[in-house]
Every structure is written in structure tokens, then in C-alpha cells.
Structure 1
Amino acid sequence: MTITSNPDATALEALRLSGPDPDNWVPDRAGIDHNVVIVGGGQTGAAFAFALRRAGIGKVSVIDAATDEAGAGVWLNRARMNKLRTPKTLVGPELSIAGLSFQTWFEARWGAAAYADIDRIPRARWAEYLGWYRHFLKIPIRYGTRLARIEPVDSHFRLRLLNATGDEHVETARKVILCNGVAGNGAAQVPPVLHENLPRTLYAHTSEAIDFKALRDKTVAVIGGAASAFDAAATALEAGAAQVHLFVRRDAVPAVPITRTRAYPGAYDNYPQLPDALRWRQALRFRKAGSTPPVDAVERVTKHPNFHLHLGAAWSHASVEGGRIAARLGNEQFQFDFAIAGTGYLVDPVVRPELSAVSKDILLWRDRYVPEDHERDDYLGAHPYLGAAHEYLEKVPGTAPHLANLHVYNPAGLVSFGVPVGDVPSMKRDIPAVVSRISRDLFLADLDRHEVRLNGDVPPDFNETLYAHSVWQGEKAGIA
């Protein structure tokens, strides 16, 4: 593609028309380092930083455990799809400023015709756009900074942070937003047949860095039927794997994208206000239908003659024989050099070390809603039951009010909000909702100081000499 123009000019004009960023209106508090700490410097962390700036909320810090920008987020690391799985037309981190959108950025560089030609956004272009977004908006991100523990202290949090060498230091914040990715309220879910029977050198989860070059001429097993499993299988094939076998426990690859039924504005905008029973049944319907891989993800593997798809194939046994994986499925025996689990993520705040001081107090869906026996689902029940601004709620009202200042912006919000929170589909509705609540909470928490400011003296713009000569003096003014 030939670059046609610089997207900075368009974005600068959009910002000019939107007006300058407001000054920080949040009063300083003694002993508080940050009004808001955002955990995660990927696409949502950067978007929140910008949205808070536009709301006039200062002293915001974005931290990321990655040592540098290249290692942050998923798009140049663990993401292996060729194209994003979401429609290109969705509102993303630009929020309400179109001049900052992917479409505007892309068309400024390659033209409107080139944008019209793409069906979905290429992953590498999305990563390039996000890099431009961060740099153009001058969003500072502190890389090499990992959140180790959140400790509630009165009206704020004490955050124990680790630097790249493992040294700990403490900072304080009034609000925390967890933009920490797909495992942010749990962990990668690896089938017991792998982690209980195989050494760590013989398998990996799709969330991990995998040396696909080392799989050249190898026989690889991939377990899972969602997009990440197909993407991993394709990456192994493209890296020169001799054979790739993909095992799906269902009798068919999930092909019905259930979430499209609630993608219209009425359902999308009002989903958080739906009754619990309806939200639960929608989440359960999604679970039963399965996560659907895009058509191109399936085509990407099926074009290879050395790709083999196994349906209704749950692994029952695995062991090590001669340094290789020996697997048994029913009456069939297989041998593999390496296995990849594309089996999703466990949701359970208790397993997150940074939440160890608060996790026992977090309200979960199983605490709030008891479905009929035929609708029970332990996986969904372990999801946190989030408030309207993605805040944790208390399991026992009045015992942990600090939870209202922890906002969750990762996929643990699926049952509460109906979309994969943290991905592009959640941004338009949920980022403004979280920022609005943070603004309200910070304002009301310092209401006495704001009342003084509201009642403060305001110097006059002018005095009576400006209009004195035009003041009506009555008819007598014209009598001789």
C-alpha cells in the first residue's frame, strides 16, 4: 500500500474542534499518589487514560508488567489471528472523536478505497494503529511495573508494585481499573490430562509465548474448538509443522455466533439493566453454543493437507513415552511432540495474588443468583457480579465498601455485561460508564471542598461604567 497522507493532521483538527483537555479538577489529598491507577497498558488501558483526561481527572497512572511497548498487549505477542474477529465498523478507543478512529487513521494513510476493500481489520494494522494512538495522544505508560497486591486502607488503596528486577515499592491510589486481559480475574485453563501427566516442556496454553519455529517438522496436538485453538494450529502449520491434529470435544465445530442476537442498540445499550435471570440465560446460551471461530480461521487450517480435525474427541489419557506425548482417545493411540491447549480461561478472583486481600469479599454470580437445576453452571457462577460501572460489589453489604473503587475491565464481566469486556465491542458503552462513575465518586468524596469552590468569590467581568451612559433616566431627562 502507498501512504497518501499523515493521519496526525486529521487527528489534530478533530481534537481542535473538540476543545482543549480540561484542567484537573480533583483536589489533592495528603498521602495519595494517584487518583486512578490503570493496570494494563494495552488498548483499553490507553483508552481509559485518554477518557479520564477528557473528563478533567488528573493524577492518572498506567502501569504494565511488560518490559517495553513491544511486549505490552496481545496483538504482537499472543494473538495469532490474521484479522480481528470483530467488525471493522465498531467504535474503539477513539470513543466519540472520529478523527482518532481506526478508519480515519487507515484512510489517511491508504485511502478510502483501501479501507472499503478490507472486510475486517488486519491484526498487524490494528497493532500499528494502537501504537500511533498512544504516541499521538502522549499517553505515558510505566512499563516493567507489575501489580503484586491491592490492600484497602481507609478511603484508598495501598498498591504493592514490583519493578522488572522484582524489587517492591508501594504507591497509593483512590481508584483502580483492572484492564489486565483475558486472565485478569483468573488464570489460563489447562486440561488436567495435560498438566497432571506431562512435563511443562511438552505443552503450552495459547496465552503463553510459544516457539513455533521449534515445531518445524514436528507432530503437534491442539486441544480446543474456539478461535484461539484454530489460530494456534494455523501458526504451527505455517511454521512448518509436519502434522497438526486439532481435537474438539463437541461433535461439530461451533458455528452459531449467538452473541449477534443482542448486538442491536436497544439490547447493547441496556444490557446491564436486564434482570439477572435473563442475563444468566443469555450467558448460558452462549456457553452451550460455544465460541465460534471466524470462517477464515477455519479455512486457514483446512487448506493444509497435513491438518486433521477430530470431532467429539476429548482426551482421556496422556503420558510420556520416549520423550514424546502418548495420547489415547477411545480406541485410538497417538504420539505427538508437543501439545497446545486452546481451552480458555478460569474465572475465579481467589486465584489472583493481587486480589488476595479483597477476593473473599467479592460478590459472585453464584452468591446473587440461584438458577433452576437445569440451568446451573459452575463456570458462570464463579464470575464476579459487577455493578453498573464495572465495580466489584460486596458479598455482605457494608463489610467491604472499598470494592466500589475497584473497576473490572476484563472478560470476567461477560455474564454481567453480555460482551467480552476488554475487547472492542465493550468500549463504546462501558468506558464512558466507568469514567462517569469515577468522576461522580471523586467529586462526591470531596464535596465539602467542592462546595467551598462552588461558593467561592468570582471577580466581575466589568463594572457599571460599561453601561452607565445607557441607563434610562426617565422623561424628566428631556425637560428644559
Structure 2
Amino acid sequence: MTRPLHHDDHARETLRLIGPDPEDWVIGRPGIDHNVLIIGGGQTGSAFAFGLRRAGIGRVSVIDAAPDETRAGSWTTYARMNVLRTPKSLAGPEAGLPGLSFQAWYEARFGEASYADIERIGRGQWAEYLAWYRHFLGIPIRYGTTLTLIEPKGMHFALHLTIRTARGVEHRVETARKIILGNGFAGNGKPNIVPPLTSLPSSHLAHTSDAIDFASLTGKSVAVIGGAASAFDAAATALEAGAADVHLFVRRAELPAVPVSRARAYPGAYDNYPALPNAVRWRQALRFRRAGSTAPADAVQRATRFSNFHLHLGAPWHDAAVVDGRVRARAGDTSFDFDFVIAGTGYAVDLHARPELAQIADHVLLCRDCYVPASDERDDALGAHPYLGDALEYLEKSPGAAPFPKNVHVFNPAGFVSRGVPVGDVPCMKRDIPAVIRRISQDLFLEDLDAQEARMNSGVPADFDTAQYEHRIYRETDVESAG
């Protein structure tokens, strides 16, 4: 029996069989540093960098604000689940190449039987796989680099960057024709801190997206606000770190337990969702909002196995203030005192909350600009989402007034209403990454059509000359001679 190839050898064989990367065909423009700048070096940034390379698009750069790869993305920072919330069978960043998939990576290390036994992918294993993917494919990422402002310059952008190195802080301006925002949950907004939590100082409050020192909560009384997965993950992590007790407050009378989005997780709905009428997409988003985001059963069980975990249903907070060094809160008619509060309250989409979008936000078409629901279907939070085009690009609010929004592609959860999934997560990769790459390729090609047409019309040397066939040309005299 043939000895199985080591996984990296198998992955290299995959790349050999698809052929070498195409040469960069994009026409260079004076004063342009990047054809595409990708904001965010996590799974999205790496997958886009590889896909653009395979499309023959050069001068692509990926930046990430994290100081190094160990602190980039969510999987080793604020993601606190034990296992991913998505099925292991979903296609990820492998771009249809089995040798680059998580399954191939995992089975090479732990065996086929082990992969068959796991129901979902461990968070740590997913982070290890992504690190392997990034290094194996040679995806360079510029860490310690923060985008502070996107300045439109006609059809390209001046990008104001802050770069932190061991030598200090440097401010630089670079230019790009296309931008991909692969910058996570708050990429088009901010953490959703709402009253009365807004009155609490950072010494007593953190959002689940923050770097929380759970070890400091040992022996402390902790409150968690919210009933979705991130809230339960934070509660469990605090309990596992030795918190004296954790109280989780949910405004609903029951925990959301019906994952309504699963009803449209079949290929017909998934593949064709962007073609749905606005009204249908709105009703699907509204159905999800009203049903609530569900925490996986294992996330709930992870917290409820602790006897010092206390769940409060139908218990929104009315007041909160620091009194004698502790947070005093009122839920219903009861007052509570806590040492620390964690907000698992999700994110708010608000383009104006992002400093880097200050010169773009007013020009971007929002869902509320192009669809007016019936009064009983109104939802201001959904209306604040950008209304994205077929390639997840911003569209201009006033046609003809600002041509540049279409050159910014949004690959973060602000695309939820337009695409039906939390864009940037694993479920959207198979459909949406190719769509964005195709559009970027098309735009870069057509924007330099004269030069591309000249290239297509350029001289091409002959593969052979007439000597290859002269002696076999049919002539009438040859027939007569033979007769």
C-alpha cells in the first residue's frame, strides 16, 4: 500500500496541480501603492490575499492593528467558545481546494476517525489551522498597522495609517484603488453599550470584544448582560477562572432557542439570497432580530453546570452606578451589587462611529434609504446597515454625487441585511469571497480598458513557420503528375 503523503506535501501537490500563480496583469498607475488594501489579517484577509493572487492581481497588501499574529483576529483574543458555532462541514478559506481545507489539515494530524468523531471544530484547532494556512501560503501581513482615515481622491483613496513598531509610532499615507474591510464585528460600527451601562467607568465594565483579564475576577461577583452566545461564553470563562458568582441578565422572558436562520441554510436560499427582493431580505433579517440570537446548547451547559451561576430572565437593567467601589444595579424591583460587569450586548452598525469612514459615511446608501417597511416591520437598527451591491460594495446614496463608495468592499457583519449571514464568518466564504474577487478583477480591468485592449491587440510571435507544412500543400499539378 502506498504510504500517504505528509499533509504539507499533499497541500504542495494541490498547488502544483492547479498550476503556478498567474503573473500580475493589472496596469500600474503612477502614484498608486496598492491595487487592493485589505483591512484585517484574520481568516478573511488571508483568504482574500490568496484568492487575489490566484486571480493574477498583484500589489495587494494586508494590514492588521494587532501587534503580532498571536493577537490578531478573534480566535485567540476575544472569542471564548470552546468549539466553533458552525458545522465542521462548511467550506472555509480553502477556495475549493481540498488539500488546503481544515479537514485535510486535521486528519493529517489526528486521523480520519478523530475527525469523524468531532461534531464541531475546536476554537484552538481552528486558530492553529488558520496559522498554518497563512504560513503555508506565504501570506504577508503588516501587523501593528491601523487605518485611521480613508480619504477619497477621485476613484482611488489616500489611506492614513498609524504604524507601531519597536522604534515608536509612524504616520504614513499610502494609496489604493480598492479596499476590503475585513475588520470584524465592529468594522462598520461599535460595541453596543446602551444605557444604563454607559454610565459605568471602564474600571468596572467591559464589552465581550474587549481583552478581559478574567484572572482578576477570581473571588469576585460578576454580572453579564445579554442572552446570546458571547454572553454565555463570558459567563462560563469567568466561572472557570474562579469568580465567586456570576449573574446573567436577559431582557427576554425566555432564552432564544430557535435558530431561525437555519431554515434558509440550503443551497437555493444561500446561493440566491442576494437576488431576493428588498422586502424579502428585510423580513428575513427582521425574523432573526425578533427571534433573537441563540446561544448553542453547549455554551448554555458550560455555564449552567456551575452552582454559582444565576440566570435572570425578563430582567433588563434600569439603573447602574458605582457605589462604594462596586456596581449597584436595579433589575425590576431588586437591587444587586457586583464587582464587575461584562456587556454581551452585541454591536451597533453605525458608519459614523468609525473615524476611518468619516469622509465616506455620508455618501453610503443605507437600507433605510432604499426600503421603507410597513410600520409594524420597522427596525431602526436594521435600517442603519449599509445596502450593499452584488460584490458587497458600498453604493452611493445620491447617484453621480460620489463615485468612490463602490471601491470599498464590506466583508464584515454589516452585510447581514444584504447577504443574510454574518459576513466575515465561515458561512459566507464560499459564496462571497469569489464574488468580491470577480468584481475587483473586472473593475481593475475595465478601468484601464484602453491599455488592456492594446495588450490584447499586441503582436504575438508565430508558433511555427511555413516550412512546417509547405511540403504537404495540395497542388493540382501533383495530381496530374501522379496520373
Q: TM-score range by the shorter chain?
A: over 0.9
Partner letter of residue 435 of structure 2?
A
Q: Does 1:72 align with 2:75?
A: no
Q: 1:188 aligns with which of 171, 178, 191?
A: 191
Structure 2: which amino acid aligns with 1:46?
Answer: S
What amino acid maps onto 2:243 in structure 1?
A
Q: Which residue of 2 aligns with 1:29?
A: 29
- Give the match for residue 129 of structure 2: 129
Q: Distance in 1 between matches of 2:389 and 2:13?
A: 37
CA offsets per residue over residues 85-116 of structure 1, 9 Å max, x none? 00000000002111100001101111110100
What's the counterpart of residue 249 of structure 2?
Answer: 247
- Structure 1 segment 370-449 matched on structure 2, within 5 A: 370-449=372-451
Does structure 2 conserve the Cα–Cα contact (< 8 Å) formed by 1:191 and 1:341? Answer: no
Q: Measure, in 2, the Cα distance between the counterparts of 1:444 and 1:203.
A: 50
More deviation, 335-344/314-323 = 314-323
Q: CA deviation at 1:471?
A: 2.0
Alignment match, 2:350: 348
Alignment of 1:31-70 (within 5 A): 31-70=31-70
Contact 1:389 1:434 in 2 (8 A): yes
One-letter amino acid of the counterpart of residue 15, structure 2:
L
Deviation (angstroms), 1:5: 7.0
Amino acid of the structure 2 residue aligned with 1:49: A
Q: Which amino acid in structure 2 is aligned with residue 187 of structure 1?
A: K
- Measured in 1, the distance between the counterparts of 2:204 and 2:481 equals 105
Contact map agreement 1:32 1:172 (CA 8 A) in 2: yes
Secondary structure in 1 matching 2:16: helix
- Whether the aligned pair in 2 keeps the contact of 1:248 and 1:314 (CA below 8 Å) is yes
Contact residue 6 and residue 109 of structure 1 kept, 8 A: no
Q: Name the amino acid aligned to 2:278.
A: D
Task: Give the aligned partner of residue 146 of structure 2.
Answer: 146
Shift of 1:192: 1.6
Contact 2:154 2:403 (8 Å CA) reproduced? no
Residue of structure 2 aligned with 1:271, choices 270, 273, 276: 273
In structure 2, give the amino acid aligned to 1:54.
R
Q: How many Å separate the matches in 2 of 1:125 and 1:351?
A: 34
Q: Is the 8 A contact 2:256 2:294 kept in 1?
A: yes
| SS of corresponding position for 1:346 | strand
TM-score (norm 1): 0.98
Which residue does the alignment assign to 2:182? Answer: 179
Query: Distance between the aligned counterparts of 1:151 and 1:319, measured in 2?
Result: 40
Runs of at least 5 residues in structure 1 that lack an aligned partner in the other structure: none
* Equivalent residues in 2 for 1:81-100, closer than 5 Å: 81-100=81-100
**How much does 1:255 deviate?**
0.3
For 1:174 and 1:342, locate their aligned partners in 2 and report how far apart those are by CA, in whole Å: 37
Q: How far has the Cα of 1:166 moved from its partner? A: 3.8
Q: 1:297 to 1:156 in 2, by over 3 A?
A: same
Contact 1:65 1:144 in 2 (8 A): yes
Instruction: Give the distance between the partners of 1:455 and 1:407, measured in 2 at CA.
Output: 32
Match in the other structure for 2:457: 455
Instruction: Go from structure 1 to structure 2 and tell me whether the alpha carbon gap of 1:408 and 1:230 turns closer, same or farther (over 3 Å shift).
Output: same
> Is the partner of 2:435 in helix, strand or coil?
helix
Determine the C-alpha separation between the residues in 2 that align with 1:111 and 1:478.
75
Question: Shift of the alpha carbon at 1:476?
Answer: 3.9
How far does the alpha carbon of each residue in 1:133-169 deviate from its partner, in whole angstroms, 9 at most, with x for none? 0000000000011001001112211000001144211
| Deviations, residues 160-209 of structure 1 (Å, cap 9, x unaligned) | 0001144211000000000000000000011221222x221001000000
Partners of 1:390 and 1:71 in 2: CA distance: 27
> Over the residues paired in the alignment, what is the CA RMSD in angstroms?
1.1
Indicate conservation of the 8 Å contact 1:5/1:108, yes or no.
no
Deviation at residue 477 of structure 1 after TM alignment: 5.5
Distance 2:50 2:109 in 1: 23
Q: Secondary structure at the match of 1:201?
A: coil
Structure-2 change in CA distance of 1:5 and 1:468 (3 Å): closer
Deviates more, 1:157-166 or 1:72-81: 157-166
Check whether the contact 1:5–1:109 (CA below 8 A) recurs between aligned residues: no
Q: Tell me the secondary structure at the aligned position of residue 163 of structure 1.
A: strand
- Structure 2 residue 163 is matched with structure 1 residue 168: no
> Which residue does the alignment assign to 2:284?
282
Q: Give the drift of 1:16.
A: 1.2
Aligned pair partner of 1:306 in 296, 305, 308: 308
* TM-score, with structure 2 as normaliser: 0.97
- Structure 2 residue matching 1:192: 3-state secondary structure: coil
CA distance in 2, matches of 1:376, 1:398: 29
Local SS of the residue matching 1:316: strand
The range that moved more, 164-173 or 66-75, is 164-173
